[in-house]
Structure 1
């Protein structure tokens, strides 16, 4: 029988597998991968460097059960809310883990294939995916110690017998980089004796062993299920820690990047409109490597943005923010940044390494503590405890300045921060509590004993409806933020890959220029980052003399192109030569 030549897809898949599993029969493994994924080897390769997004894309980040109504599945409550209240404002919903879990608010997954009954059913997820793009979490580094896999590991049966990464407790693991202070290894009694399993995060989160190709095959089944249920955007949680080699840092290893390339190859052949986002809360230069050569993540989280922008707004000095953005490479076509200011986690501090001095970082931490924030730590390879993240709601984080403390400019400061995020190169992502101006939930922290609970408030829909329909700061925040989203979605100059150029207007004014891909719309975004009025001359912006320039936020026309503009504390303008038309997906 004549040998059938390998398809282009098979050849590419085998190349990735050979780097990950050099001792295996990778032709056979490639066939298993394709069969598991229900993927025809002759599937056509998607065109590279495609932008699968535009300026209308804005993401909402939320837990499946953040909004609750008595007698209704939370996923159904969420779907109704976003459809009725946010159809003009967002295009995508990031559903944080909605699976059965044992700890960490969903990130200790017990079963990747079922929806937590307290949230709803797969039908609810699929229904949401018909109205919005849905991003799901692929918690790929670890799973729960109460999962069936780990029970099988202890019993020595499959699936699971060799699914978890084991290490010798006498090995030199001092170089390992991780974000926690707990011991790295957990001792476990199994049918085959005492074992020591690797726990990057907590002892309830056991790291998976991707050196075993059966773990890869299991995750391909899981990803295929998510695709079948309508999920198209995939967040690879904590993926930087995926591959371990004792004696190394066990973070950002070449095998990890290779695995991401393999997963992308499979996912985009199955669904050319699918998007991969890597969640790597690490120093900025390391984070950028996850773009690969436009063949790894489509999007990477802009982790340095939250701490640097918040620092600028509480100090009144945007020098570090400006310097960082000037050093950031424009994303290649087919890749872009995910910009966010708040999430279910805290404000990561590792991404400030090399960007803020120790004194500046200490000032930021002390300011956030003054506003009710908490500080979480990590352990360095040298055994030191170092600040890892600040736990605080965005509303509270922006309640005052480092110099004066809480003041009357909280709302203006909050809207200014949102306005910066909305206008920068990339896709903006709004944490649901940033839509409402939700305050620190100290009661939840007290109940759970976890600092991250401070920004994971659960809203009863009756309370939320009342807050959004009466004269509260929640109503004001919601109306103002959704107005900004609607303006943003109409502007071609806010396309995630449109040109961006940072302007030099001193340390108090933060400014940049965006230009649409077709060069027809130019937009100057200028922000007062201080609690004092600040002025600038329009001549500094080099406005095209033949165009009519309008602030999209206030709709004020600026006829005198050489005139002086005074911005009140935290006021900003989006000056454009054309007003775009809304494009709703």
Structure 2
């Protein structure tokens, strides 16, 4: 009993500190009591162990809609669960089911009711069944809700509590500094018993921003988080959280109060269950995105938003110069935090995260090439009224069909190389279901919905999908190769999300880096030919230990002579490890090999390392 009391007191103390920063003039003690009661039923909580990594190299998250795989006469969530258990259980640890709640637009991100499952998908029993088999990741659509929600209906009727849950400003308010991800007007006029009011809509008129300056709304959101935990959710994706706090005269993005709300949620969640994980979804420039780690006290993971466009640019141009420079600049994630790596998503490939990393002309060329491959481009309005490309909308399979020189016959090789890079990098990988399935652009759905993003949100019929994965076409090749890479990754301690990483310098045609396990017993040199031509790499260019033998995990080839060269075929990846297939360090017989292990791995001023 005393330990529970001490835990409650510690939680209460931390929550009050957060609340003092968010709501300086509020009754902090009373609000802290209410929040802890809502999160930790009956106030029962436990002090979390600081800086714990709740992940390993065996973790991989599949990203999917609840109805990405369907079967006539069966709830889609049940069909999805069957498909995952039959085809994916050996390669994924968790599944991110994109918003599965009743909604009015944006394929789920305009939530009508946070507390129920969309009946067109199934019910809470279906969600809980998936959570029993996989680590379940759920969206917390925290910045806004649907204009058809109960709360907004109350707002329009002047009724509590909804009438205080939304951001309103006078129509003539100067909002020129506000950062926007859309071209639609920011303010929407709404008739209420108090007269016409103008509500804040960062994304669309159907997605009305919530007012977190009202602590009662924060309390309601904490109750929703507690409900999701009760239903088996382990990982929370905080959707569009960068826009959460509004302060006139500012850009209304990445404000200090936003960061403090995330820290508060982390504190509450960790005292409820130490295994829970918060991931921030902040599609913004790289340095701003990194700030959501805080001091290892904010997001457990951040979406590595710069990776998709940089990888795409690398594959399109055959040069890893920008990707390599970016990788060297990235700080190692502190213990208790990790990068969430991905290449494709339900939205598209965001371009804001490469602002400052790619030149404007390079971004424009990338968008133009993707349009040539059948993709679309979404735009955003700048503060001066001009528009810039915000996002590329295309199925990754189609994005990989060629280079800046046009379409070629290396789609599968390029696609697999891209994922071999992502799977080997520091961080937890997340793979969109349509990348596993080799899905192509869905022009019919894009035309039907009028949304560019629908091009990469195909709905498969289970029977059709099963047939496609069993034939010998592109989709089948992608599926089998992807699964094999994921299974190989799971077996390598050097691919732990927090294991050491060095950037190697082997020219712009070979993207290379070194991973070392946290126990420092396994090394893997990851060599990736990012061009459509063969490339040669001398093993003397990398820091191989002279008395160990080296084996390519992917092909199984063993390299006996560390003085030889490796010829990499177009888009070939090599994971060169000192472990054999059974996880044992391979030693070289005495007298064999030339000692060159004391060569510097990189220029000390250019390398990046952590352990």
What TM-score results when the alignment is normalised by the length of structure 1?
0.97
Q: 2: distance between equivalents of 1:282 and 1:40?
A: 39
1:460-475 equivalences under 5 Å are 460-475=461-476
Structure 1 residues 581, 116: closer, same or farther in 2, change over 3 A? Answer: farther
1:391-470 equivalences under 5 Å are 391-403=393-405, 405-470=406-471
Equivalent position of 2:276 in the other structure: 274
Q: 2: distance between equivalents of 1:123 and 1:40?
A: 25
Residue 495 in 1 paired to residue 502 in 2?
Answer: no
Residue 552 in 1 paired to residue 553 in 2?
Answer: yes
Instruction: For residues 417-454 of structure 1, give each alpha carbon's deviation from its aligned partner in whole angstroms, at most 9, with x where no partner exists.
Output: 01001000000110000001110111111100100000
Q: 2: distance between equivalents of 1:169 and 1:62?
A: 39
Equivalent position of 1:481 in the other structure: 482
Alignment check: 8 A CA contact 2:376 2:394 kept: yes
* Runs of 4+ deviating beyond 6 Å: none
Secondary structure in structure 1 of the residue aligned to 2:127: helix
- Cα shift at 1:158: 2.0
1:179 to 178, 181, 184: 181
Equivalent position of 1:333 in the other structure: 335
Residue 35 in 1 paired to residue 2 in 2?
Answer: no
2:17 to 10, 15, 26: 15
Residue 220 in 1 paired to residue 228 in 2?
Answer: no
- Cα shift at 1:97: 0.1
Q: 2: distance between equivalents of 1:527 and 1:266?
A: 42
Residue 385 in 1 paired to residue 387 in 2?
Answer: yes
- Cα shift at 1:18: 1.1
Q: 2: distance between equivalents of 1:178 and 1:242?
A: 13
- Cα shift at 1:43: 2.8
- Cα shift at 1:41: 5.0
1:149-548 equivalences under 5 Å are 149-403=151-405, 405-548=406-549
1:142 to 141, 144, 150: 144
* Bigger mean CA offset, 510-519 vs 376-385: 376-385
Structure 1 residues 524, 389: closer, same or farther in 2, change over 3 A? Answer: same
Alignment check: 8 A CA contact 2:37 2:43 kept: no
Structure 1 residues 278, 579: closer, same or farther in 2, change over 3 A? Answer: farther
Unaligned runs of 5+ in 2: 584-611
Q: 2: distance between equivalents of 1:41 and 1:436?
A: 45
What TM-score results when the alignment is normalised by the length of structure 2?
0.93
Alignment check: 8 A CA contact 2:46 2:272 kept: no
Q: 1: distance between equivalents of 2:357 and 2:253?
A: 21
* Bigger mean CA offset, 254-263 vs 31-40: 31-40
- Cα shift at 1:399: 0.5
Q: 2: distance between equivalents of 1:542 and 1:344?
A: 40
* Bigger mean CA offset, 512-521 vs 376-385: 376-385
Secondary structure in structure 2 of the residue aligned to 1:232: strand
Equivalent position of 2:66 in the other structure: 64
- Cα shift at 1:381: 1.7
* Bigger mean CA offset, 200-209 vs 155-164: 155-164
- Cα shift at 1:38: 3.3
1:104-143 equivalences under 5 Å are 104-143=106-145
- Cα shift at 1:580: 6.5
Alignment check: 8 A CA contact 1:54 1:496 kept: yes
Alignment check: 8 A CA contact 1:20 1:255 kept: yes
Alignment check: 8 A CA contact 1:529 1:570 kept: yes
